[in-house]
Amino acid sequence: MMRLSDLPHDQCFLCDHTLVSLHVASNSLIALSFCSIVLTLLYFVYKRRDMSLQWLALLCGALFLAVGTMQAIGIWTMWNPDYWLEEGMKAVTAALSVVTAIILWPLLPKALAIPTQAQLELAQRNLRGQLMRDLLTYSSVSRGERRRESVNCEPLVKNVITQLNSSIQATRATITHCPLPVVMGDRNQIRHVFQNLISNALKFTGSEPPNIHVSIERQETDWLFSVVDNGIGIDPDFHDHIFRVFERLPARTACVGSGIGLAICKQIIESHGGRIWVESELGKGSTFYFTIPAVEPVAGTRWAQSAHTAMDSMPQCL
Protein backbone atom coordinates (compact mmCIF):
# COMPACT_ATOMS: atom_id res chain seq x y z
CA MET A 1 0.00 0.00 0.00
CA MET A 2 1.29 3.49 -0.91
CA ARG A 3 1.96 5.67 2.10
CA LEU A 4 0.92 9.36 2.32
CA SER A 5 4.60 10.32 2.29
CA ASP A 6 4.97 8.54 -1.08
CA LEU A 7 2.29 10.72 -2.81
CA PRO A 8 3.62 13.19 -5.40
CA HIS A 9 1.63 16.01 -3.76
CA ASP A 10 3.49 15.39 -0.50
CA GLN A 11 6.89 14.98 -2.06
CA CYS A 12 6.79 17.73 -4.66
CA PHE A 13 4.65 20.35 -2.98
CA LEU A 14 4.54 20.26 0.82
CA CYS A 15 8.21 19.46 1.09
CA ASP A 16 9.13 22.56 -0.89
CA HIS A 17 8.64 25.32 1.68
CA THR A 18 9.25 28.08 -0.85
CA LEU A 19 6.53 26.70 -3.14
CA VAL A 20 4.15 26.30 -0.19
CA SER A 21 4.79 29.88 0.92
CA LEU A 22 4.20 31.17 -2.60
CA HIS A 23 0.96 29.17 -2.88
CA VAL A 24 -0.36 30.38 0.47
CA ALA A 25 0.61 34.00 -0.21
CA SER A 26 -0.92 34.00 -3.70
CA ASN A 27 -4.17 32.35 -2.62
CA SER A 28 -4.44 34.66 0.39
CA LEU A 29 -3.96 37.78 -1.71
CA ILE A 30 -6.47 36.57 -4.31
CA ALA A 31 -9.04 35.75 -1.60
CA LEU A 32 -8.58 39.09 0.15
CA SER A 33 -8.71 41.01 -3.15
CA PHE A 34 -11.93 39.33 -4.25
CA CYS A 35 -13.50 39.97 -0.84
CA SER A 36 -12.51 43.62 -1.18
CA ILE A 37 -14.13 43.75 -4.63
CA VAL A 38 -17.32 42.26 -3.18
CA LEU A 39 -17.41 44.90 -0.43
CA THR A 40 -16.85 47.62 -3.05
CA LEU A 41 -19.76 46.33 -5.15
CA LEU A 42 -22.05 46.16 -2.11
CA TYR A 43 -21.13 49.73 -1.17
CA PHE A 44 -21.75 50.90 -4.74
CA VAL A 45 -25.16 49.21 -4.89
CA TYR A 46 -26.07 50.70 -1.50
CA LYS A 47 -25.13 54.21 -2.62
CA ARG A 48 -26.62 53.94 -6.12
CA ARG A 49 -30.04 52.51 -5.45
CA ASP A 50 -31.31 54.20 -8.60
CA MET A 51 -29.16 51.92 -10.76
CA SER A 52 -31.29 49.66 -12.96
CA LEU A 53 -28.83 46.72 -12.97
CA GLN A 54 -28.33 46.29 -9.23
CA TRP A 55 -29.08 42.59 -9.55
CA LEU A 56 -26.20 42.15 -12.01
CA ALA A 57 -23.76 43.82 -9.61
CA LEU A 58 -24.96 41.50 -6.84
CA LEU A 59 -24.58 38.46 -9.11
CA CYS A 60 -21.01 39.46 -9.97
CA GLY A 61 -20.39 40.01 -6.26
CA ALA A 62 -21.61 36.49 -5.50
CA LEU A 63 -19.28 35.10 -8.19
CA PHE A 64 -16.29 37.04 -6.83
CA LEU A 65 -17.08 35.89 -3.30
CA ALA A 66 -17.19 32.27 -4.49
CA VAL A 67 -13.82 32.66 -6.23
CA GLY A 68 -12.26 34.21 -3.14
CA THR A 69 -13.70 31.51 -0.90
CA MET A 70 -12.36 28.82 -3.22
CA GLN A 71 -8.86 30.29 -2.92
CA ALA A 72 -9.11 30.24 0.88
CA ILE A 73 -10.30 26.62 0.83
CA GLY A 74 -7.34 25.80 -1.41
CA ILE A 75 -5.04 26.83 1.46
CA TRP A 76 -7.06 24.85 4.00
CA THR A 77 -6.96 21.61 2.00
CA MET A 78 -3.17 21.65 1.82
CA TRP A 79 -3.09 20.32 5.40
CA ASN A 80 -6.71 19.16 5.85
CA PRO A 81 -8.07 16.70 3.29
CA ASP A 82 -11.58 18.26 3.04
CA TYR A 83 -11.80 17.61 -0.66
CA TRP A 84 -15.61 17.42 -0.73
CA LEU A 85 -15.66 20.98 0.60
CA GLU A 86 -13.20 22.06 -2.06
CA GLU A 87 -15.03 20.37 -4.93
CA GLY A 88 -18.40 21.60 -3.65
CA MET A 89 -17.12 25.17 -3.67
CA LYS A 90 -15.78 24.64 -7.19
CA ALA A 91 -19.22 23.44 -8.28
CA VAL A 92 -20.87 26.57 -6.81
CA THR A 93 -18.28 28.78 -8.51
CA ALA A 94 -18.78 26.97 -11.81
CA ALA A 95 -22.57 27.42 -11.62
CA LEU A 96 -22.25 31.13 -10.85
CA SER A 97 -19.71 31.52 -13.68
CA VAL A 98 -22.01 29.88 -16.23
CA VAL A 99 -25.06 31.91 -15.14
CA THR A 100 -23.09 35.17 -15.25
CA ALA A 101 -21.65 34.39 -18.69
CA ILE A 102 -25.10 33.54 -20.09
CA ILE A 103 -26.65 36.72 -18.68
CA LEU A 104 -23.88 39.04 -19.85
CA TRP A 105 -24.20 38.30 -23.57
CA PRO A 106 -27.79 39.60 -23.97
CA LEU A 107 -26.84 42.68 -21.93
CA LEU A 108 -23.91 43.53 -24.20
CA PRO A 109 -25.96 45.64 -26.70
CA LYS A 110 -27.39 47.67 -23.82
CA ALA A 111 -23.92 48.22 -22.39
CA LEU A 112 -22.60 49.35 -25.78
CA ALA A 113 -25.54 51.77 -26.06
CA ILE A 114 -24.55 53.59 -22.86
CA PRO A 115 -23.58 57.15 -23.88
CA THR A 116 -19.91 58.03 -23.80
CA GLN A 117 -18.59 61.01 -21.84
CA ALA A 118 -18.34 63.01 -25.08
CA GLN A 119 -21.96 62.19 -25.96
CA LEU A 120 -23.13 63.21 -22.50
CA GLU A 121 -21.27 66.51 -22.75
CA LEU A 122 -22.80 67.14 -26.19
CA ALA A 123 -26.27 66.36 -24.85
CA GLN A 124 -25.67 68.75 -21.95
CA ARG A 125 -24.61 71.53 -24.33
CA ASN A 126 -27.66 70.90 -26.51
CA LEU A 127 -29.91 70.98 -23.45
CA ARG A 128 -28.41 74.29 -22.35
CA GLY A 129 -29.01 75.67 -25.83
CA GLN A 130 -32.58 74.38 -25.85
CA LEU A 131 -33.19 75.90 -22.42
CA MET A 132 -31.92 79.30 -23.57
CA ARG A 133 -34.09 79.19 -26.70
CA ASP A 134 -37.14 78.14 -24.70
CA LEU A 135 -36.57 80.89 -22.14
CA LEU A 136 -36.29 83.48 -24.92
CA THR A 137 -39.47 82.13 -26.51
CA TYR A 138 -41.27 82.18 -23.17
CA SER A 139 -40.14 85.76 -22.55
CA SER A 140 -41.17 86.83 -26.06
CA VAL A 141 -44.64 85.30 -25.73
CA SER A 142 -45.05 86.77 -22.24
CA ARG A 143 -44.38 90.25 -23.66
CA GLY A 144 -47.13 89.74 -26.22
CA GLU A 145 -44.80 89.67 -29.23
CA ARG A 146 -46.94 88.00 -31.88
CA ARG A 147 -47.49 88.35 -35.61
CA ARG A 148 -51.02 88.02 -36.94
CA GLU A 149 -51.25 86.19 -40.24
CA SER A 150 -53.14 83.37 -41.89
CA VAL A 151 -51.53 80.05 -41.01
CA ASN A 152 -52.28 76.89 -42.97
CA CYS A 153 -51.89 74.14 -40.36
CA GLU A 154 -51.77 71.33 -42.94
CA PRO A 155 -48.25 71.95 -44.36
CA LEU A 156 -47.12 73.28 -40.99
CA VAL A 157 -47.84 69.96 -39.23
CA LYS A 158 -46.35 67.99 -42.12
CA ASN A 159 -43.16 70.03 -41.78
CA VAL A 160 -43.05 69.32 -38.03
CA ILE A 161 -43.42 65.58 -38.72
CA THR A 162 -40.59 65.74 -41.28
CA GLN A 163 -38.26 67.46 -38.81
CA LEU A 164 -39.04 64.81 -36.17
CA ASN A 165 -38.34 61.98 -38.62
CA SER A 166 -35.29 60.64 -36.75
CA SER A 167 -37.29 60.28 -33.52
CA ILE A 168 -40.18 58.74 -35.45
CA GLN A 169 -37.87 56.15 -37.00
CA ALA A 170 -36.15 55.40 -33.68
CA THR A 171 -39.44 54.79 -31.85
CA ARG A 172 -41.24 53.17 -34.84
CA ALA A 173 -44.00 55.72 -34.34
CA THR A 174 -47.07 56.25 -36.48
CA ILE A 175 -48.34 59.82 -36.83
CA THR A 176 -51.58 60.66 -38.62
CA HIS A 177 -53.68 63.79 -38.89
CA CYS A 178 -56.99 64.98 -40.29
CA PRO A 179 -57.28 67.68 -42.95
CA LEU A 180 -56.25 70.73 -40.96
CA PRO A 181 -57.68 74.26 -41.20
CA VAL A 182 -56.25 77.69 -41.81
CA VAL A 183 -56.14 79.81 -38.66
CA MET A 184 -55.14 83.36 -37.79
CA GLY A 185 -52.08 83.77 -35.59
CA ASP A 186 -48.32 83.66 -35.35
CA ARG A 187 -46.96 80.93 -37.63
CA ASN A 188 -43.81 80.23 -35.60
CA GLN A 189 -45.65 80.13 -32.30
CA ILE A 190 -48.38 77.79 -33.57
CA ARG A 191 -45.69 75.59 -35.07
CA HIS A 192 -43.96 75.52 -31.67
CA VAL A 193 -47.15 74.20 -30.06
CA PHE A 194 -47.50 71.33 -32.54
CA GLN A 195 -43.80 70.47 -32.36
CA ASN A 196 -43.79 70.39 -28.55
CA LEU A 197 -46.92 68.26 -28.23
CA ILE A 198 -45.88 65.76 -30.92
CA SER A 199 -42.27 65.48 -29.67
CA ASN A 200 -43.55 64.90 -26.11
CA ALA A 201 -45.75 62.09 -27.42
CA LEU A 202 -42.64 60.55 -29.01
CA LYS A 203 -40.63 60.84 -25.78
CA PHE A 204 -43.04 59.54 -23.17
CA THR A 205 -43.93 56.21 -24.73
CA GLY A 206 -45.29 53.02 -23.23
CA SER A 207 -44.49 49.43 -24.19
CA GLU A 208 -46.03 49.80 -27.66
CA PRO A 209 -44.67 51.95 -30.51
CA PRO A 210 -46.14 55.47 -30.35
CA ASN A 211 -49.41 56.03 -32.17
CA ILE A 212 -50.14 59.75 -32.48
CA HIS A 213 -53.14 61.40 -34.12
CA VAL A 214 -53.86 65.10 -34.67
CA SER A 215 -57.52 65.93 -35.17
CA ILE A 216 -59.78 69.00 -35.29
CA GLU A 217 -63.35 69.95 -34.60
CA ARG A 218 -65.09 73.16 -35.63
CA GLN A 219 -66.83 74.70 -32.66
CA GLU A 220 -69.04 77.76 -32.66
CA THR A 221 -66.24 80.30 -32.41
CA ASP A 222 -63.09 78.15 -32.25
CA TRP A 223 -61.12 75.42 -33.90
CA LEU A 224 -60.57 72.65 -31.35
CA PHE A 225 -57.33 70.75 -31.96
CA SER A 226 -56.41 67.51 -30.21
CA VAL A 227 -53.15 65.55 -30.12
CA VAL A 228 -53.81 61.97 -29.01
CA ASP A 229 -51.14 59.44 -28.05
CA ASN A 230 -50.92 55.96 -26.51
CA GLY A 231 -48.03 56.76 -24.16
CA ILE A 232 -47.47 56.41 -20.43
CA GLY A 233 -50.21 58.86 -19.51
CA ILE A 234 -50.37 61.44 -16.72
CA ASP A 235 -51.85 61.13 -13.26
CA PRO A 236 -55.00 63.33 -13.11
CA ASP A 237 -53.63 64.95 -9.94
CA PHE A 238 -50.84 66.51 -12.03
CA HIS A 239 -52.84 67.74 -15.03
CA ASP A 240 -52.48 71.39 -13.99
CA HIS A 241 -48.86 71.05 -12.83
CA ILE A 242 -47.42 70.18 -16.24
CA PHE A 243 -48.22 73.63 -17.63
CA ARG A 244 -46.07 75.36 -15.00
CA VAL A 245 -42.50 76.52 -15.64
CA PHE A 246 -39.85 73.88 -14.77
CA GLU A 247 -42.53 71.49 -13.52
CA ARG A 248 -41.64 67.87 -14.30
CA LEU A 249 -43.41 64.73 -13.19
CA PRO A 250 -41.45 61.90 -11.47
CA ALA A 251 -42.15 59.44 -14.32
CA ARG A 252 -40.80 61.95 -16.87
CA THR A 253 -37.58 63.13 -15.23
CA ALA A 254 -35.50 60.56 -17.12
CA CYS A 255 -36.30 62.22 -20.44
CA VAL A 256 -34.26 65.13 -21.72
CA GLY A 257 -36.04 68.47 -21.87
CA SER A 258 -36.01 72.03 -20.57
CA GLY A 259 -39.13 71.61 -18.43
CA ILE A 260 -40.86 74.70 -19.83
CA GLY A 261 -42.18 73.42 -23.16
CA LEU A 262 -45.80 73.04 -22.05
CA ALA A 263 -45.63 76.34 -20.16
CA ILE A 264 -44.68 78.00 -23.47
CA CYS A 265 -47.55 76.21 -25.22
CA LYS A 266 -49.96 77.56 -22.61
CA GLN A 267 -48.63 81.10 -23.04
CA ILE A 268 -48.90 80.86 -26.83
CA ILE A 269 -52.44 79.49 -26.90
CA GLU A 270 -53.70 81.96 -24.31
CA SER A 271 -52.06 84.85 -26.18
CA HIS A 272 -54.10 83.74 -29.22
CA GLY A 273 -57.29 83.89 -27.17
CA GLY A 274 -57.59 80.12 -26.76
CA ARG A 275 -57.02 77.62 -23.99
CA ILE A 276 -55.12 74.35 -23.58
CA TRP A 277 -55.72 71.35 -21.32
CA VAL A 278 -55.05 67.63 -21.07
CA GLU A 279 -57.16 64.56 -20.45
CA SER A 280 -55.16 61.52 -19.39
CA GLU A 281 -54.78 58.58 -17.05
CA LEU A 282 -51.67 56.65 -16.11
CA GLY A 283 -50.99 53.88 -18.61
CA LYS A 284 -53.81 54.97 -20.94
CA GLY A 285 -52.19 57.64 -23.06
CA SER A 286 -52.93 61.35 -23.19
CA THR A 287 -55.01 63.76 -25.23
CA PHE A 288 -53.91 67.39 -25.33
CA TYR A 289 -56.61 69.82 -26.44
CA PHE A 290 -56.18 73.43 -27.44
CA THR A 291 -58.41 75.97 -29.12
CA ILE A 292 -57.64 78.79 -31.50
CA PRO A 293 -60.44 81.24 -32.25
CA ALA A 294 -61.84 80.86 -35.74
CA VAL A 295 -61.49 84.51 -36.70
CA GLU A 296 -63.79 85.29 -39.63
CA PRO A 297 -62.05 87.06 -42.56
CA VAL A 298 -63.24 90.38 -43.91
CA ALA A 299 -66.24 89.81 -46.20
CA GLY A 300 -65.74 90.27 -49.94
CA THR A 301 -62.02 89.50 -50.02
CA ARG A 302 -60.43 86.63 -51.93
CA TRP A 303 -59.26 85.20 -48.60
CA ALA A 304 -62.83 85.31 -47.25
CA GLN A 305 -64.21 83.36 -50.24
CA SER A 306 -61.51 80.66 -50.08
CA ALA A 307 -61.74 80.44 -46.28
CA HIS A 308 -65.51 79.94 -46.29
CA THR A 309 -65.18 77.32 -49.04
CA ALA A 310 -62.52 75.46 -47.04
CA MET A 311 -64.54 75.59 -43.82
CA ASP A 312 -67.70 74.34 -45.53
CA SER A 313 -65.88 71.41 -47.16
CA MET A 314 -63.72 70.47 -44.18
CA PRO A 315 -64.86 67.23 -42.46
CA GLN A 316 -65.30 67.02 -38.72
CA CYS A 317 -62.36 64.83 -37.75
CA LEU A 318 -62.11 63.43 -34.21
The whole-number pLDDT of residue 258 equals 56
CB burial class (10 A; 0-12, 13-18, 19+) of residue 193?
A: buried
Is residue 249 over pLDDT 90?
Answer: no
Residue 57 has a pLDDT of 87
Are 70 and 35 in contact by the 8 Å Cβ rule? The answer is no
In terms of average pLDDT, the best of 104-118, 162-176, 238-252 is: 162-176
What local confidence, expressed as pLDDT, does residue 137 receive? 66
Residue 10 has what pLDDT?
47
What is the chain's alpha carbon radius of gyration, rounded to the nearest angstrom?
Answer: 33
Question: What pLDDT does 12 receive?
Answer: 57
pLDDT at 254 over 60: no
Check residues 180 and 119 and name the one with the higher pLDDT. Answer: 180
Nearest 5°: phi and psi at 215? -135, 170
**Residue range 8-60, pLDDT digits in tens:** 444 456 677 788 888 889 999 999 999 999 999 899 888 888 777 788 888 99
Q: Is the pLDDT of residue 279 over 80?
A: yes
State what percent of residues in the chain have pLDDT above 90.
34
* Separation of alpha carbons 69 and 31, rounded Å: 6
Q: Is the pTM of this model over 0.75?
A: no
Ranges of each domain in the chain: 17-113, 148-296
Distance CA(226)–CA(318), nearest Å, equals: 8
Highest mean pLDDT (candidates 80-84, 124-128, 141-145, 248-252): 80-84
The whole-number pLDDT of residue 280 equals 87
Per residue in 104-117, pLDDT tens?
888 888 877 777 88
Q: What is the mean pLDDT of the chain?
A: 80
- So what's the pLDDT on residue 17? 78
In 3D space, the residue among 187, 180, 260, 257 whose CA is nearest the CA of residue 224 turns out to be 180
The Cα-based distances of 88 to 24, 73, 85 in angstroms read 20, 11, 5
Higher per-residue confidence, 247 vs 70: 70
In this predicted structure, what is the pLDDT of residue 298? 42
Say whether pLDDT at 250 is over 70.
no
62 burial via Cβ count (<10 Å: 0-12, 13-18, 19+): middle
Confidence tier at 304 by pLDDT (50, 70, 90) = very low
Distance linking the first and last C-alpha atoms of the chain: 95
**pLDDT given at position 269:** 92
Q: In what order do the strands lie in the sheet with 286-293?
A: 174-177, 211-218, 222-229, 286-293, 276-280
Domain 148-296 annotated CATH 3.30.565.10 = yes
